[in-house]
Amino acid sequence: MPKEFQNLITIELPVPVRQKSNGVFEARLRKFGLNLAVSSKDYEKLKPKFLAALASSKLPTQGEAAELAEPAGAPLFETVALRWFELKRPTVKQGTITFYESLFRASLLPAFAGRSIDGIRQSDIQSVINDYIEAGKPRTATKVFQTMKAIFDFAVGDDLLEKSPMRLLKPPKYEEKNGCALTRAEERELIELITASECAPEVKNALVFLLYTGIRRSELASACIEGEFVSVVCSKMRKGYQERRRLIPITPMLARWLPAMNLDTLRTVNPDVLTQAMKRLMPNHHLHELRHTFITRAQECSVPREVVSVWAGHAADGTQTSNVYTHFGTEFMLKEGRKVIYNL
């Protein structure tokens, strides 16, 4: 080893070594005005390669060292997080970005603002997660965990950190509340409440329309009638994927209400207004349970699960046969749709 390095470098491999996802080992030295990076698939060959690179390097003079002075420190947490947000923005829908920004302002910034990305420890993050769990907010705790993991994975990938403090943290336990279908008695009660309510006519009709089509509230704005079908744009398509419409047959349950509906007006109803109206009418249920109800009733009326999945915009199952090669004809779909008739 060159004499000029002997007082600076310790025995063994004197720099951090990491193994990338592709299995390659990498050693870096960013000190003393040097910027060395050596990699090898064989860990045993990494040390001699690094020492060879070191031997061919030259320490800067005092004047050069001043020019090559290391940065004052790692970037702040908020700087890295905002950079991650901006790079993620083009790949996800605006609603997802809005969620991340809200979580950042309400939960992450108050806890970690002003701290360097390399100064945040596993215990710091665990403490914030525990606070939300103890406050009875396990869903927020889970979202904090997921978002912090993504931010620190980004920091490691951008060589701002050697290791993520999230690597040994366990995700909080949280079971999503998926909702449930209304019973037939509850469905009858809801129809009576809608009819008697003081809601605007378009809000009443929109609730019934969601109940008897099973579409998501975010899909209402794209709904239109195509012959004997309701057509909507699937709202769950990821950004960058081609927009796709799906068809739901007009069932006898919807057909009896359809003449009184003005779909042009329904499309303009704010989804939040529908959520609030449902909460007022049936406080123990939420709007998305109308979708659960439609899917359940269709299957109760003997419509095959694979067909109902197509109406709902779900993958029929995990097989290529169902998801790629099965294409139900319109006549068959209409025939199945006519089955959806029942007494309340």
Question: What is the per-residue pLDDT for 325?
Answer: 36
Model pLDDT, residue 15? 64
Rg (CA), the chain: 29
The pTM for the full model equals 0.58
Angle at 166 between CA 160 and CA 170, to 5 degrees: 170
> For position 12, what pLDDT does the model report?
46
pLDDT > 90: what percent of the chain?
49
Torsion of CA 276, 278, 281, 285, to 10 degrees: -120
Q: Which residues pair with 226 in a beta bridge?
A: 229
pLDDT of residue 106: 86
**Tokens at 95, concatenated:** 């609603």
Note the pLDDT of residue 11.
39
Helix (H) or strand (E) holding 105: none
Residue ranges in the chain whose pLDDT is less than 50: 1, 6-13, 65-71, 317-326
Residue 165: name the closest of 107, 80, 73 by CA.
80
Tokens 């997080």, residue?
Answer: 81
Phi, psi of 203, deg, nearest 5: -70, -45
Confidence (pLDDT) at 65? 47
- The pLDDT, as a whole number, for residue 245 is 86
- pLDDT tens track for 26-51: 877 665 556 677 888 888 887 888 77
Question: Look-up: residue for tokens 């004997």?
Answer: 228
pLDDT, residue 323, reads 45
**Cα 160 to chain centroid, rounded:** 24
